Amino acid sequence: MADKLIIVESPSKANTIKKFLGSNVKVVASMGHVRDLPKSKMGIDIEHDFEPQYINIRGKASLINSLKKDAKESKQVYLATDPDREGEAIAWHLAYLLGIPKDAICRVTFNEITKETVKESIKHPRKIDQNLTDAQQARRVLDRIVGYEISPILWKKVKRGLSAGRVQSVAVKLIVDRENEITAFVPEEYWNIFATLSKNKEKFIAKFYGKDNKKIELHKKEEVDEILNNINNAKFIVKDVKRGEKKRTPAPPFTTSTMQQEASRKLGFAIKKTMQIAQMLYEGVKVPEKGTVGLITYMRTDSTRISEEARGAAKEYITAKYGNSYYEKRYYRTKSGAQDAHEGIRPTYVDLEPEKIKDSLTPDQYKLYRLVYNRFIASQMSAAVYDTISANIDANEYNFKANGQTLKFKGFMTLYVEDRDDKKDDDVEMSIPELVIGEEVKKEKIDQKQSFTEPPPRYTEASLVKTLEEKGIGRPSTYATIISTIIDRRYVERNQKQLVPTDLGKVVNKLLTENFKDIINVEFTADIENRFDEIAEGKEPWKRVIREFYTPFEQEVEKVDKELEHVKLEEEVTDIPCDKCGRMMVVKYGKYGKFLACPGYPECKNVKPYLQKIEVPCPVCGGAVIVKKTKRGKNYYICENNPKSCNYISWNKPKVGEKWEPEVEKQSKTKKPGKKKATKTKRTTKKTTAKKKTDTKKKMAKKKEN
C-alpha cells in the first residue's frame, strides 16, 4: 500500500515525477479526460437548468477501475493534472469517480516539473477550484449546444457530416473575409524616386519626399517625369542633418501565443506540432547530470511574468558569459485581461544550455527548446543601440531625405532577434557619410521605380493566431485545436504556409454568417470569452451565462430552420452532360472537396470526379492542365492526356511559354508525381541472396560427407 497516490494526465509526466519521489509514492496517469459528454446525443438537460449528462469515456473502464483500486489502497490521493481550466476540470471529474469529497485538500499543480518544484508543491495542496472547473464546463456546454443545434442545418442544406462551431466558424469567417478582400482588391499605381548621391566617393541613397517641405505622393509617370526634368541639372544641397541614438529592446519571454507564432515563423512548425513538442519538454526529458526533468515551464500561459529566482539565474548566466554591460534587469507587464496564473514560458534550468543537451533531444525538441531558451535569456539582456543620422537634401524646390543607422552595441541581439510577419527595415544598417549643412553632394544617378499597392496577405498560422489573440477569440490553449479542426474538416487548406478557404468552407461560411449573424461574429465570440473569464474569477455563475445565451439562440435556430425549409441552395450547373440520363451535371461538395453529380437524384445516382482546369495550356502538348491532390492534400498538375499521349505531370503550376523537363522534377514523400521505376537492384539482391543460400547448403553437405 502506497502512502500517497498522485494522478497526472500523461504517462511521460508520471514517469518524470516518479523519479523525484520515494518508493512510498505511486504516480499514475489518467490519460487525459475520463468523463465527457456523450457523442450520440447533445448530453445537456435543457429542462433541468442545462445540467451536463457526463458519462465515462468509452474504452476507459479498465483504467477507471485501476484508478479506483489504487485510490482505495492509498492513504492520500493527490490530483496533479495540468495547471489550467482543462486540468482543473479533469481533476474535478477524477474526484467524482474516486469518491473524493468536494472540500478535500487534494489538488496539486506544477508550473515546472523539477525535483524542487514537485516536492514543494506536494507540501502545499489545495481544494479543487470550482470556479475554474465551472469556466471549463460553461465553454464545453455552450460549444456543445451551438454545434448540435446548428450542424443539422448544414446537413440539410449542404452535406451530412458537416459541423459548425462557435469559435472555429469565426476563424473560418476571418479567413474567408480576407480572401474576399484579396479578390476585390484593386491595385493602385505609385512611384518612388531614388537619388544615388556621394561624398568623397562614399555613396548613399536619398528618397524623394516632396516639394517645399510638403510631402507629395506620386501616382503617375507624368508626375515623375516633371520632377526629373526640373532636377536634371539641379545641385543637391544638404539643408539639415540630425544625429541621434536609437535603442531596440528585447521581446518579453514567450506566452503560448507568441511561442506558437515564433515557432511558425522561425522553425516552420504547425501550431499543433509546437504544442506537442512543448508538452514533451514540459513533462520531462532525460538529460545528463539531472536525469529526467521538465526542461520548460508550463506552456499554456498568457503571462510574461518571471520569478525572481529565474531572473537571478539569468543575471548570473548573462554576466558570466557576456559581461555586466549585457545585463539589464527587466520586468514585463502582462497585458490587461490576460490570465496571469503562471509565469511566461522559460527554461527550468538556465545551466542546461541547448548545445549541452542537444544529444538528449530530438531535432525538433532541440529547435523549440533553443528558441524558448534564447528568447528568455535575451529578455533579460541590454537593449541594442544604434547611431542614427537623417539628412534633408534639396534639389531646387524639391526635397529628398536620407536616413542611416549603424549598430553601436548589439546587446540582446547577440543572442536572439524576434521575427515579424510585417517585415520592416527599421533595424537594417545603412551607412551615410558625415554630412555638413550647406554643402553640395554629388549626384551619381537618379532612379525611378513604379510599384503597385498589394492586397492584404493571406493568413498564415502565425498571423491567424496573432489576430485571434488580438480580437479575444478563443484562448491560447485552444488555438492549436481551432486551426487543426478547420483544416481537418476541409473548410481551410494550407497552400505552402498560407491558409486558404476551400469552396466547401466558403459555402458553409456564407450560410452561417447570413443566417446566424449574432452568433458567428467576432464581437459575440470575444464577449463570451470575457464572460468565461468572469466565471473563472468567481464573478458570475456559469449557468446564468448559458441561460442568457440559450433563449435568443434557440429562437434564432428555429427561425432559420423554418426560413430555409423550402430554400434550396443554388447549385453550380456545369456544361457536362450526365452519361446516364443526359441532364447537365451540378457541382456538389463532399469530404474531399467538389465532385459532379446528376441533378436527377434519386432517380439517377450518377457521380463523376470534378476536374479543375487551369488557364495555362500543357507545356508539352497544349492540352488542358488539371489540378489534382495527393492523399495528403498536396496539389499537383497533370495533362488531361496523361498517360494516353502526354507525360506531363508536375508539382509546380505551369507558366506560359515555359519548357518542362521530366528529369528535373524532384521525387517527393507524397509519391506523386512521377512514380519511381522498378530497379534491378531488388531483383539482383534476391538472386544474390538465393545464390548465397544455395552455396551455404552445398558447403554444409560437403562437411557432412567429410
pLDDT tier at 336, thresholds 50, 70, 90: low
C-alpha cell at 59: 474504452
One DSSP character per residue, 390-404 reads EEEEEETTEEEEEEE
Between 699 and 355, the higher pLDDT residue: 355
pLDDT at 563: 84
pLDDT tier at 676, thresholds 50, 70, 90: very low
Contacts with 292 (C-beta within 8 Å, 6 or more apart), sequence order: 15, 16, 19, 284, 285, 286
Instruction: In whole angstroms, give the CA distance from residue 635 to residue 74.
Output: 57
Active-site residue numbers? 298
DSSP H or E stretch at residue 143: helix 130-157
Helix (H, G, I), strand (E, B) or coil at 576: strand
Q: Which contacts qualify for 324-329: CB closer than 8 Å, 24 or more apart?
A: 325/382, 325/409, 326/381, 326/382, 326/411, 326/412, 326/414, 327/380, 327/381, 327/382, 328/380, 328/381, 328/382, 328/383, 329/380
Contact 610, 594 (CB under 8 A): yes
pLDDT at 684: 43
Contact 527, 471 (CB under 8 A): no
pLDDT at 680: 42
Whole-number mean pLDDT of the chain? 88
DSSP H or E stretch at residue 121: helix 115-122
DSSP H or E stretch at residue 527: helix 522-536
pLDDT at 691: 54
The total number of residues shown for the chain amounts to 706
Task: Look up residue 472 and give its amino acid.
Answer: G
Instruction: In whole angstroms, give the CA distance from residue 499 to residue 459.
Output: 6
Segments in 217-334 forming alpha helices (H): 221-230, 256-262, 271-283, 308-321
In 477-572, where do the E strands start and end?
492-495, 498-501
From residue 594, give the alpha-carbon distance in Å to each of 483, 597, 627. Answer: 22, 10, 12
Contact 244, 396 (CB under 8 A): no
Q: With CA atoms as reference, report the closest residue to 355 among 278, 309, 415.
A: 415
The rounded Cα 358 to chain-centroid distance in angstroms is: 25
Beta-strand relationship, 440-452 and 189-199: antiparallel
Q: What is the pLDDT of residues 497-552, one digit of tens each?
A: 899 998 889 989 999 999 998 888 899 999 999 999 999 999 999 999 999 999 99
119-128, 169-178, 633-642, range with the lowest pLDDT: 633-642
Contact 181, 456 (CB under 8 A): yes
Is the pLDDT at 26 greater than 60? The verdict is yes
From residue 241, give the alpha-carbon distance in Å to each of 21, 235, 433, 687. Answer: 67, 17, 11, 82
Q: What is the pLDDT of residues 590-636, one digit of tens each?
A: 766 678 999 888 889 899 888 888 888 998 888 899 988 776 667 78
Q: What is the pLDDT of residues 353-389, one digit of tens each?
A: 999 999 999 999 999 999 999 999 999 999 999 999 9
